[in-house]
Amino acid sequence: MKRRCFTAAATLGSAMALLPATSPAQVTDLNDAINKAGRQRMLSQRMAKSYLAEGEAVVPELAQRTLSGSMALFDRQLVELKAFSPRPEIKSTYGNLEAVWSDYKAALVGSKPAKSQAGAMLDLAAKVLALAHQGTVQLEKVSGRPLGHLVNVSGRQRMLSQRMAAFYLSISWGVQTATSTTELNKARGEFVAAHDELRKAPETTPAIKAELELAETQFTFFDTALRTLRPGAPDASHMANVFTTSERILQVMDGVTGMYSKLS
């Protein structure tokens, strides 16, 4: 397989690629619902990453565009998922998510990103993530099919790429350092294990395997960037590498999740 090269322009393209124009204006079926529900998990962490990057002046213009685009997409998908919810308990989850999202949104846009507010922002991001994950799992259970599980797992890889980057930036800024270090290492292990599960799944087609190989190559670069972390001694170039490489993995895994969601 030819190794694809990503430029700064491609990275910017990936940041814009997940804006609202990329998916239908409503949920089309259960697999699509699981895909979008899982994307909400990712967006919770992508917004946190972008807030931290903007606060630390790491690719600030790209970080600001990524934050605003992610917020718009989260808003739209939340409306879609609430409308689609096939069971009362799922609709209740999205009602609860809407309330927590309101608080998170206020923290993200209420004032300029600041180190003094970053810990509270991360706490809200965690609450949004928990409810978004709950909704995704509930929808997977309604599906009851292996494909629903694979859409969930592959979609979660998107979230983990953003979560690792967010914790890297959090540690670099000296925000919740101990907790962020633990969670970064946990997310790294979960990403590797899930990637192995996807590669070995009988439903994984050759085309999907090729994309997974690409994601694995990008993760190698990403992991190298992550290991440059020096708590209390931030390096702007290393932080920029973490931000942009996490976007590349996200781009590939968003495509992979879409491929799984379209399998019959």
Cα separation of 207 and 181, whole Å? 35
pLDDT, tens digit, 9 for 90 and up, residues 17-71? 454 444 556 888 999 999 999 999 999 999 999 999 999 999 999 999 999 999 9
15-43 residues labelled b (16+ CB within 10 A) or e (exposed):
bebbbeeebeeebbebbbbbbbbbbbbbb
Q: Within a 10 A sphere around the Cβ of 105, how many other Cβ atoms?
A: 16
Distance (Å) of CA 139 to CA 38, 146, 147: 10, 13, 12
DSSP 57: T
Mean pLDDT for 217-244 is 88
pLDDT, tens digit, 9 for 90 and up, residues 160-209? 999 999 999 999 999 999 999 999 999 999 999 999 999 999 999 999 99
Check residue 16 and give its pLDDT: 45
Q: Within a 10 A sphere around the Cβ of 191, how many other Cβ atoms?
A: 23
Distance (Å) of CA 21 to CA 18, 105, 131: 8, 21, 25
Backbone angles phi, psi at 107, to 5 degrees: -70, -30
Domain assignments of the chain as residue spans, ordered by start: 25-261
Cα separation of 96 and 98, whole Å? 5
Distance (Å) of CA 103 to CA 52, 100, 106, 120, 128: 17, 5, 5, 11, 10
Check residue 230 and give its pLDDT: 77
**What angle is formed at CA 76 by the lines to CA 70 and CA 77, rounded to 5 degrees?**
85
Check residue 88 and give its pLDDT: 96
227-255 residues labelled b (16+ CB within 10 A) or e (exposed):
eebeeeebeeebbbbbbbbbbbbbbbbbe
Contacts of residue 252, Cβ cutoff 8 Å, sequence gap at least 6? 211, 214, 215, 218
Find the largest Cα–Cα distance for the chain. 50
pLDDT, tens digit, 9 for 90 and up, residues 72-110? 999 999 999 999 999 999 999 999 999 999 999 999 998
Cα separation of 240 and 165, whole Å? 10
